[in-house]
A and B are shown apart, each in its own frame.
Chain A
Amino acid sequence: MRTVRYLFTILLLTGMCRLSYAASDTIHVQLKWWHQFQFAGYYAAELKGFYQQAGLKVKLIPGDPSHAAVPEVLAGNADFGITGSDLVVNYAKGDPLIALGAIFQHSPYTILSLKEKKIHIPSDLIGKRLMASPDQGWTELKAVFLKEGINPDSLKLLSHSWKNTDLIEDKADAITAYISVEINQFRKAGVEPSFILPINYGIDFYGDILFTRKKIADSDPVTISKFRKASFEGWEYAMSHTGEIADYILTLPGVKERGVTKDDLLVEAEAMRKLILPDLVEIGHMNEGRWRHIADVHQKLGIITKQPDLSGFLYDGTKKVSSKFLRNTAYVLIGVLLLLLLSVLYGFSLRKAVRKRTEDLEKEIIERANAQQLLLISEQRLEMATVAAGLGIWDWDIKSGEVYFNDQWKLMLGYAPDELPNLFATFEKLLHPNEKETLLHLLHEHLEGRSSVYQAMIRMRTKDKRWKWILTMSKASLRDEKGQAIRLSGIHLDIDDIKQKEIELKELTQELMHSNNELQQFAYITSHNLRAPVANLISLLGLFDRSNLSERNNVFLEKMEISVERLHATLNDLNEILSSRINKADREDRLVFAEELSKVKDLISEEIRLREVTIQSDFSKAPEIFFSRKVIHSILLNLLTNAIKYRRPGVPPIIQVFTEEDGDYIILYVKDNGLGIDMEKYGNKIFGLYQRFHDNKDGKGLGLYIIKNQVEALDGKIAVESMLNSGTMFHVFLKKKKSFYE
């Protein structure tokens, strides 16, 4: 009985308190800005009667550039206010303010510019005109510049006109803005905005904060608690009933007049959802650590002088309310507490468990919030990267036929985002008819799971009726149990420039090959047609009866003979070069080096015997090759005869021939102990035509030229190292071919 009476007294006391406040005053709330979805929770609390149920009479006052929330609350014109996380700066400077809860877990402030202005990172703004307002996020955004090592004085700051047209009309290069509001406004105005987000530069502040004066918090904690609770309840309602609240906002003064539509409000709501995280974080949640970080950033940047004691800044509902309670009702509660002590002790372990669970839950919320934040960052990164790369993205729900195309996908073809329906048919319609069948087949194979990737170069119709080359790539992201794709996503990359270059290059190559063939044909005919009469001349001179010639005519005849011989020799060289030419289509065989070497040795056996040449060989590291026999013979024959020809007088020639594998090549080495070549003098000429480096020899200077051409025609190369009076070693890199058996 006693207990019941005391409890009744408590209820009576609190009830009186509430009644007295409600009767005495209307609560004034200074909003940060004019009516928009940004304050949806407060409207919802009003509309759905949450304030009324708590016995509160609330007046929401829209903000404007000359009515910022902090000064209004400080001056007593309003009891509560909504502002950004620069609230902590005011607090640090000694303003008696207290933060009641963070609505936006991440700040919506951004520096907004237009795509055409090509402002992507803070340093792009140096020397540029930025419209900013100290009360509207400039403090936070300034931190981004300072963090990036950019002196904010290097910007030309203009005071904020709050007119988007100023940016469009180039009266400014960038403005500070809300990501949830202005981006949509610019898109609506038909210009594509670009933006710099503080979060990408390590500045992650709270967004909108509900705050009040310390004095109110101290003197009337019950009202604070009620207002806070009803407001957050309103926020929860607003975020799950965005349509209803949007309709209500449209009825508020000034909203329609600004040309705001329901769609605009809904776009804003969705952008806000990413900042508020209503499904993950309790509305109003604040973390002292984060506030300390925010204060820390401001301090490091010299915006505040010393780290404030945050204990008086963060509202602690339970502590404040219970202390007030205790002060007012201490004598009643002592009795109650005594009576309850037993049951308290009894339930202690249970409560401990509950507290533990609550702590776990809080931890989890923070972890999930962090995960969400990381996700947000990675989403933003992806968006920036795709925009920077001009990457089109598509995501096809195969059953419904619906395809998500990002804006870039459409912009690539010259269409505005809303000009093309998000359907597979859109893609099909714009595809080049010549490629349609092949591509759809390729796609089909991939969907059925018969090919693991899908990639093709296709032509697509642009809005201005051109065909544009695009690389489309994908991999089925989801398949059902039968392996059939149910969702396919991928990218589109504009490769038109590259492809055009490729086509030009191909044409050029064809032209070159054609003229090269013509030149070869010409050389062939010329040498052939010259050779026949020269051969005849030689024969005719041979048959010529010179017995009755005068002395003088005999001399002429001799000179004629010499000239014809020279002509004949030159023609032979020309023929040798022409007939040594090789192309990749020529026949190739599996060749065993040892066998080929012995065939070549047979050809020059007389020379070997006569000059007492020793030929050593070791092909154990690479015994065979799939190659042109003609070329291998030509290499061995030329290098061996050269080695013999340029032997050192008095030194019996020793020639070593060996092979080695080296990646894509087999290297054939031919090493001698002969005269050597003065590499400094002749190094770069050695493989040239008609180059001879030794006197009194019968070399024509053709051999190395010919084998170099042959080896290079087959994608190989040839190198030489040599020392005068010591010897020469040739390295012939023969490109490995895949034989037909492999």
Chain B
Amino acid sequence: MSNEPYHILLVDDDDVTNFLSREMLRIYMTAPKIDIALNGQEAIAFLLAHANEPDKLPDLILLDINMPIMDGWEFLSEFEKIRTSGFEKINVIMFTSSVYYEDIDRARGSAIVKNIYSKPLDEQKIREIIASCR
């Protein structure tokens, strides 16, 4: 692991999920830095707010699909528009309770999404995610 703490942005509208994800990440990672956005729009706002401060940008986004205001797919298309202005290094992982063929296919078809995982997080998933995003 690098010297700097690993920085993760959780994008999910469900408090319990966010609570759990944070707990799991804290258990299986060394002092991760965790931020939370409750929907796609908050996530975009968070990124834009720190556009000029690369230190404060996350290494990884765990993105839910079904959210109010701006859902995961809408976030992806917004993110694609701004990605080249300093966000290229951010990894996006879809993290969803959907297990539908259509969703999985769509996520795999996206150039931005690195992978898709179903909820909940467990030790193995966390290790795989971190390994794939190094």
B-contacting residues of A (Cβ < 8 Å)? 524, 528, 531-533, 535-536, 538-540, 542-543, 572, 575, 578-580, 630
What is the 8 Å Cβ interface bit string for chain B, positions 39-75, against chain A (1 contact, 0 not)?
0000000000000000000000000001000000000
> Is B7 interfacial (CB-CB < 8 Å)?
no
Nearest CB on B from A632, distance (A): 15
Question: Which residues of B81-134 have CB atoms within 8 Å of chain A's CB atoms?
Answer: 97-102, 118-122
Nearest CB on B from A674, distance (A): 30
Majority secondary structure, A binding face: helix
Nearest CB on B from A517, distance (A): 14
A532, A538, A540 — most chain B CB neighbours (10 Å) = A532
| A528–B103 alpha-carbon span in the complex (Å) | 12
Which residues from chain A contact B20 at a C-beta distance below 8 Å? 536, 539-540, 543
Contact present for B99 and A575 (CB under 8 Å): yes
- Chosen A-B contacts, 6 in total, with CB atoms closer than 8 Å, are A524-B100, A528-B66, A535-B118, A538-B120, A539-B120, A540-B20
> Is B77 interfacial (CB-CB < 8 Å)?
no
| A524–B103 alpha-carbon span in the complex (Å) | 12
Please give me the residue from chain B that is nearest to A527 by CB atom: B99
Nearest CB on B from A448, distance (A): 50
Please give me the residue from chain B that is nearest to A582 by CB atom: B101
- The 8 tightest CB contacts between A and B, nearest first, are A539-B120, A532-B97, A535-B120, A535-B119, A531-B97, A579-B101, A536-B16, A539-B20
Which residues from chain A contact B121 at a C-beta distance below 8 Å? 539
| A578–B118 alpha-carbon span in the complex (Å) | 16
| A286–B20 alpha-carbon span in the complex (Å) | 113
| A578–B98 alpha-carbon span in the complex (Å) | 11
| A572–B100 alpha-carbon span in the complex (Å) | 11
Which residues from chain B contact A572 at a C-beta distance below 8 Å? 99
| A460–B118 alpha-carbon span in the complex (Å) | 60
Please give me the residue from chain B that is nearest to A539 by CB atom: B120
Contact present for A543 and B97 (CB under 8 Å): no
Contact present for A535 and B24 (CB under 8 Å): no
Contact present for A532 and B101 (CB under 8 Å): no
Contact present for A533 and B16 (CB under 8 Å): yes
Which residues from chain B contact A536 at a C-beta distance below 8 Å? 14, 16-17, 20, 119-120
Identify A528's interface contact among B23, B24, B98, CB under 8 A.
B98
Nearest CB on A from B42, distance (A): 19
Please give me the residue from chain B that is nearest to A576 by CB atom: B99
| A371–B120 alpha-carbon span in the complex (Å) | 91
Which residues from chain A contact B118 at a C-beta distance below 8 Å? 535
A535, A539, A575, A580 — most chain B CB neighbours (10 Å) = A539
Contact present for B100 and A532 (CB under 8 Å): no
A-contacting residues of B (Cβ < 8 Å)? 14, 16-17, 20, 23-24, 27, 66, 97-102, 118-122
Nearest CB on A from B74, distance (A): 17
| A578–B104 alpha-carbon span in the complex (Å) | 14
Please give me the residue from chain A that is nearest to B104 by CB atom: A579
Contact present for B99 and A532 (CB under 8 Å): no
Which residues from chain A contact B120 at a C-beta distance below 8 Å? 535-536, 538-539
Nearest CB on A from B73, distance (A): 15
Contact present for B23 and A543 (CB under 8 Å): yes
| A536–B121 alpha-carbon span in the complex (Å) | 9
Q: With A540-B20, A543-B23 in contact, do A535 and B100 touch (Cβ < 8 Å)?
A: no
Nearest CB on B from A535, distance (A): 4
Nearest CB on A from B47, distance (A): 25
Please give me the residue from chain A that is nearest to B24 by CB atom: A539
| A542–B124 alpha-carbon span in the complex (Å) | 14
Nearest CB on B from A561, distance (A): 14
Which residues from chain A contact B24 at a C-beta distance below 8 Å? 539, 543
Nearest CB on A from B13, distance (A): 10
Please give me the residue from chain B that is nearest to A531 by CB atom: B97
Which residues from chain B contact A539 at a C-beta distance below 8 Å? 20, 24, 120-122
Which residues from chain B contact A540 at a C-beta distance below 8 Å? 16, 20
Please give me the residue from chain A that is nearest to B66 by CB atom: A528
Nearest CB on B from A139, distance (A): 84
| A533–B14 alpha-carbon span in the complex (Å) | 9
Nearest CB on B from A168, distance (A): 73
Which residues from chain A contact B99 at a C-beta distance below 8 Å? 531, 572, 575, 579
A536-B14, A580-B101 known; 18 new pairs, CB 8 Å cut-off, are: A524-B100, A528-B97, A528-B98, A531-B97, A531-B99, A532-B14, A533-B16, A536-B16, A536-B119, A536-B120, A539-B20, A539-B122, A542-B122, A543-B23, A572-B99, A579-B99, A579-B101, A579-B102
Nearest CB on B from A298, distance (A): 85
Contact present for B97 and A630 (CB under 8 Å): no
Nearest CB on B from A534, distance (A): 9
Contact present for A579 and B14 (CB under 8 Å): no
Nearest CB on B from A520, distance (A): 11
Nearest CB on A from B25, distance (A): 12
Which residues from chain A contact B16 at a C-beta distance below 8 Å? 533, 536, 540
Q: With A536-B16, A536-B17, A539-B24 in contact, do A579 and B97 touch (Cβ < 8 Å)?
A: no
Please give me the residue from chain B that is nearest to A630 by CB atom: B101
Contact present for A578 and B97 (CB under 8 Å): no
Contact present for A532 and B17 (CB under 8 Å): yes
| A580–B98 alpha-carbon span in the complex (Å) | 14
Q: With A528-B66, A536-B16 in contact, do A579 and B119 touch (Cβ < 8 Å)?
A: no
Nearest CB on B from A596, distance (A): 18
Identify A579's interface contact among B27, B66, B100, B122, CB under 8 A.
B100
Nearest CB on B from A433, distance (A): 44
| A580–B122 alpha-carbon span in the complex (Å) | 26
Which residues from chain B contact A524 at a C-beta distance below 8 Å? 100
| A539–B97 alpha-carbon span in the complex (Å) | 13
| A542–B27 alpha-carbon span in the complex (Å) | 12
| A566–B99 alpha-carbon span in the complex (Å) | 18
Which residues from chain A contact B17 at a C-beta distance below 8 Å? 532, 536
Which residues from chain B contact A575 at a C-beta distance below 8 Å? 99-100
A536, A540, A543, A575 — most chain B CB neighbours (10 Å) = A536
A528, A533, A540, A572 — most chain B CB neighbours (10 Å) = A528
| A540–B122 alpha-carbon span in the complex (Å) | 11
Nearest CB on B from A543, distance (A): 6
Which residues from chain B contact A580 at a C-beta distance below 8 Å? 101
